[in-house]
Amino acid sequence: MSSLTGKVALVTGAGRGIGRAIAMELARAGASVCINDIDGEAAEESQKACGAYQSDTCVAVYDVSSPAGAAQAVELCVRVLGGLDILVNNAGVLGRYCLLENFTEADIDAIFGVNVRGCLNMVRAAVPVMKGKGWGRILNAASMYGIEPQVGRGIYSASKAAVIALTRVLAAELAPYGITVNAYAPGTIATAMSRESLQSRAEEKVRQVPLRRAGVPEDVAGLVAFLASDRASYVTGAVVPIDGGALSVQSPWRAWEAVSGVGNSCCGQWAGQEDR
């Protein structure tokens, strides 16, 4: 476990799923955590969960897609917890599954408003605090779809590609101030946001993952805690997939055919089996 004792972290979208797991992992590593989510009740539940590891926490209920909301979240974190060392831009909107031509302006505004503008708003609010300390960690939620776009998730894919570009530019711009900027790119992770997709296309999804399982939020949280620590002090501008190997090769299920020594029928066999 990388020690984050004495550090203050702000995690957006921390009311559930990956965000809650990240907040808990940072608290377990010793960081004081500000939990931001527009769902106040969910944020309070996350605060209770973090309380098992770290009592020095607070809740912020602000909309990060608004520059004013982002500024208020940072101000509250600094005022209550005494500073800000680690910013995790985890808040995200998946949006509808449809072709690009069928997305509405409201769809586009909602997805880009949180995924891209929300990330940028939080960075602009947090960076002056980090510059003053000469140390900082910024972790942005990308996605495997930002690396390899998916039909039906075109706007979401574009928003996450934008996050990746922002991450790389910010890494260069903020390096002179001792601030590292990295992105984590989850694949299929079992959360409330992905539940519908997993339920309707579980076999197809699992076939695309060499480790033949969906990820869990804790898989992401462990990586984020590492990147937030001094052990990752020479890592910046990186985009790290957490996808069970889904982006490693095309048609990953063919590896299982080769290893098992059987034909195409194996694809349907192992995809539905219980993970062991």
Which tokens belong to 158? Answer: 């574009």
pLDDT per 10-residue tile (average), the chain, 276 residues: 88 97 98 98 98 95 98 98 98 95 97 98 98 97 95 96 98 98 93 57 69 87 97 98 83 68 46 34
Which amino acids are annotated catalytic? 156
- Asked whether the beta carbons of 207 and 34 are under 8 A apart, the reply is no
Among 2.70.98.40, 3.30.1490.120, 3.30.70.2390, 3.40.50.720, what is the CATH number of 8-201+214-245?
3.40.50.720
Residue 84 near residue 129 (C-beta atoms within 8 A): yes
| 84, 8 Cβ separation under 8 angstroms | yes
User: What is the per-residue pLDDT for 201?
Assistant: 56
Q: What is the pLDDT of residue 160?
A: 98
Spacing of C-alpha 174 from chain mean position: 20
pLDDT of residue 272: 37
Which segments of 13-66 are extended strands (E)?
32-36, 57-60
* Domain residue ranges in the chain: 8-201+214-245
Check residue 250 and report its DSSP letter: S
CA distance 98 to 95: 9
Q: What is the pLDDT of residue 205?
A: 67
pLDDT of residue 202: 57
The whole-number pLDDT of residue 96 equals 93
How much is the pLDDT for 273? Answer: 34
